[in-house]
Chains A and B, each alone.
Chain A
Amino acid sequence: MFNKFFLTIIFITAVNLSAQIETYKWQPNEVDYRLNIPVAKEYKIITSNFSTLLISFCQAVYYSVFSEYDGDNCPFHPSCSAFFVESVERTNIIEGGLMFADRFTRDINFFKGYNSYPLHFTGRFYDPVYKYKLLPLTELVELIKSEND
């Protein structure tokens, strides 16, 4: 009789305790809404001419020494360093350099937002090089339209 009573008490206590543990277990998890988009970094040295070779080498050094540890912080796509390399590749080192100076100024602008730039699928502001090449107006309009299509 005593054993039965004792076992019942143990059973009820154990169920209650484990139920409390279960309650603790079933707490909702914290949800992280940040986009988990892996961005592959390219350390490509472009050897088409001396200026692209120089700039792409500088980019590779910047990636290895700073960006790798600092993290992927550029709000734009393509990133500022990729923009610099691409602009030099498409134009020349002087025009590419000016395009980069302008991009850097836009990058540190605190007021930039969704009204100024379309959103890329990576969640960054889409700001391609061709828009800043001082193309003839009709050509620029056609390029933007074809990209929107």
Chain B
Amino acid sequence: MILTIVNQAQDNVFLSIENRLRFGDFLFCDNDYLRAIDEYKIVLKNKESDMLKFKIALAYQELKKYNESENSFKELFSSQQFANEAKFEYFRTLYLSDNFEMMDKLIKDDSFIDASTSKEIKKLYNLKHLYSQFHIEDSSDFFDPFNDKESVELLKYFIRKQNIENKSPAFAAVLSAVVPGLGKVYTENYGDGITAFLLTGVLTFLAIDNFNAEHDFRGWLFTGLAAYFYSGNIYGSATSAQLFNAGARITFDNDLQLFLNKNNHFIPNNNLFCK
């Protein structure tokens, strides 16, 4: 009985709120975010803390659970201690989750942007514009929030974005209409181009040869097949150009994402909680 009492007493100390908080902090700094959230939630049942709510939101962000993270940051907008940080991290979550519509709405809302974080928010907003699907209206405005060193590094991607290789689907189709397969060669699918040329050529030769030999049925059959593959090649050249353009944009976006992740999206890494 004495042993049971001693054990229970030890258990109570071991699982105290302070110990759970310490353990949660350890897990958080050890990047074990899922378990850290569990510990913090237990502590929050007993003690109200904006800091813990903020850390939970950050943990969700790290876990790429962006919906939960956005909701948790929103709850802190009225917090005295973490309002500005929560707004910035909320914006960063929108950036990471590619929610560009909401970012666009918030950047125009003066009540949302605080002077202390406006530069970082503008940075994220401009960086989003560097991806291939967006258009940069004013190039001088683009580099404003960045310092000289950052601007030089970003300039490479800025120039590359302006010069992403583009093949015209209409031109590819016209080329294939003139010479079968030439549109595919234009989109750098050389094998497909040669095959299309040979296939259409052989079918046309067979059609002519059969007409010359007065095999009219076979002649018309091969004419039909040649026309069918000729048309298919024109259509295929247009889609091939479109796929080429999509591939060039995806490669650019992937390279940009790697570059930005490597540079922490040009946001200083203010580690508030883990030294």
Contacts and interface: CB of A to CB of B under 8 A. Distances in A.
Given A109-B191, A141-B132, A141-B250, A131 B233 contact: no
Contact of B246 (A101, A109, A140): A140
Contacts, number: 85
Interface residues of B, number: 27
B210 interface: no
A126 to B, nearest CB: 13
B231 A105 contact: no
Interface stretch (B4-12, B212-220, B237-245, B262-270): B237-245
B232 A102 contact: yes
B242 A137 contact: yes
B126 interface: no
A145 B192 contact: no
A53 to B, nearest CB: 21
B24 interface: no
Secondary structure call for the B interface: helix
B245 A101 contact: no
Contact of B232 (A98, A109, A111): A98
Q: How large is the interface on A (under 10, 10 to 19, 20 to 34, 35 or more residues)?
A: 20 to 34
Interface string A107-149: 0111110001000000000000001111101101110110010
B229 A101 contact: yes
A105 B132 CA distance: 31
A145 B189 CA distance: 22
Q: Which of B189, B190, B232, B238 has the most CB of A within 10 A?
A: B232
Interface string B189-210: 1111011100100000000000
Interface of chain A, helix or strand or loop or mixed?
Answer: helix
A116 B189 contact: yes
Interface in B169-192: 169, 189-192
Contacts of B196: 105
A135 B235 contact: no
B143 to A, nearest CB: 25
Contacts of B245: 137
Q: Which of B169, B190, B229 has the most CB of A within 10 A?
A: B229
Contacts of A109: 191-192, 194-195
A99 interface: yes
A134 B170 CA distance: 11
A111 B246 contact: no
Contacts of A76: none
A106 interface: yes
B85 interface: no
B191 A111 contact: yes
A97 interface: yes
A110 B191 contact: yes
Contacts of B133: 138, 141-142
Interface of A: 95, 97-102, 104-106, 108-112, 116, 131-135, 137-138, 140-142, 144-145, 148
Interface of B: 132-133, 169, 189-192, 194-196, 199, 228-229, 231-233, 235-236, 238-239, 242-243, 245-246, 249-250, 253
15 contacts: A98-B231, A102-B233, A105-B233, A105-B236, A106-B195, A106-B236, A109-B195, A110-B191, A110-B195, A111-B195, A116-B191, A132-B236, A133-B239, A137-B245, A141-B249
